[in-house]
Amino acid sequence: MAIQIRAVTDPHDPAIAAFGELQDRTFPEPDMLIPPAYFPRMLATQTPERRNLMLVATLCGTVVGGALFHYLAEPNTGFSSFMAVAPEVRGQGVARAIHAARFALLDEAAGEAAPVAGIFIDVVAPERLTPREVARERSVGADPWARRRIFQRLGFRRVDVAYYQPPEGSGGEAITNMDLLYAPHTPAETVPAELVVGTMRVYWTPWLGRATAERHAEELRRRCGGEFVALKPAE
């Protein structure tokens, strides 16, 4: 039986819990991600400025992959919070199919503004992981270098700017072992700095607050250093 990919819109859909379980067993530090308990609430909370979207890939009724992502209206971009494929079906084109369906759903969400400019995602930088962090990745069947190769094949490129995930609260610490990747809808060698900054400002606002998100966005703008930012290989 072929793998089926569908959008999840009902906050009570049992596939949501199954995708949450997949997230927990395929990512070495699930506490760094959006907790699955929040997924139903996110799908039930939609605004014109931000659409929370989910896709699942199923095989014989079992969830074997999926993606949680967001359409951000102001910059007309997408941001991917998480994408996973179960180890038992990897190498069968599931990630590519989910990625294509993700672009299609983002364009649908954009309406008259379609197509979206592209999709952003932040991922760990393998060369900045400690041996312990690499071992933790491999304990759940993950490989940070293989992950970057997969993103490269899907069309993602590394945004050539120093990137960090801002801390939550005044006592938190920024996460600095990550890179920002971008998959433009149309292949490109650069991305407008304002698109990078605008996307992250809108994405950060719900959990940092408007003022803090604006401050981090302005710091990101300074690090971009110009009107355009180069896109480098994701590997």
The counts of H helices and E strands in the chain are 7, 9
d(CA 38, CA 19): 12
pLDDT at 26: 81
Rounded to an integer, the average pLDDT of 145-156 is 91
Q: Measured in whole angstroms, how far is the alpha carbon of residue 140 from the centre of its chain?
A: 19
Q: Higher model confidence: residue 37 or residue 193?
A: 193
Q: What does the pLDDT look like over 83-129, one tens digit per residue?
A: 999 988 988 999 999 999 999 999 999 999 999 999 999 998 877 77
Rounded to an integer, the average pLDDT of 189-196 is 98
pLDDT-derived band at 30 (thresholds 50, 70, 90) equals low
Q: Higher model confidence: residue 133 or residue 53?
A: 53
Rounded to an integer, the average pLDDT of 46-75 is 95
- Which runs of E-coded beta strand occur in the chain? 4-7, 50-59, 62-72, 77-85, 118-124, 157-159, 178-184, 190-192, 228-233
pLDDT at 31: 64
pLDDT-derived band at 198 (thresholds 50, 70, 90) equals very high
Predicted confidence (pLDDT) at residue 32 exceeds the cutoff of 80: no
Cβ neighbors of 168 (< 8 A, separation 6 or more) are 207, 208
d(CA 172, CA 167): 5
Average pLDDT taken over every residue of the chain: 91
> Please, where in the chain does CATH 3.40.630.30 lie?
1-116
Predicted confidence (pLDDT) at residue 171 exceeds the cutoff of 70: no
pLDDT at 79: 98
Predicted confidence (pLDDT) at residue 186 exceeds the cutoff of 70: yes
% of the chain surpassing 70 pLDDT: 95
pLDDT at 117: 98
Residue 61 pairs in a beta bridge with none
Rounded to an integer, the average pLDDT of 207-233 is 95
Choose the CATH number for 1-116 among 3.60.10.10, 3.90.550.10, 3.40.630.30, 3.30.565.10: 3.40.630.30
pLDDT at 169: 61
Give the DSSP per-residue string, 205-228.
HHHH-HHHHHHHHHHHHHHH-SSE
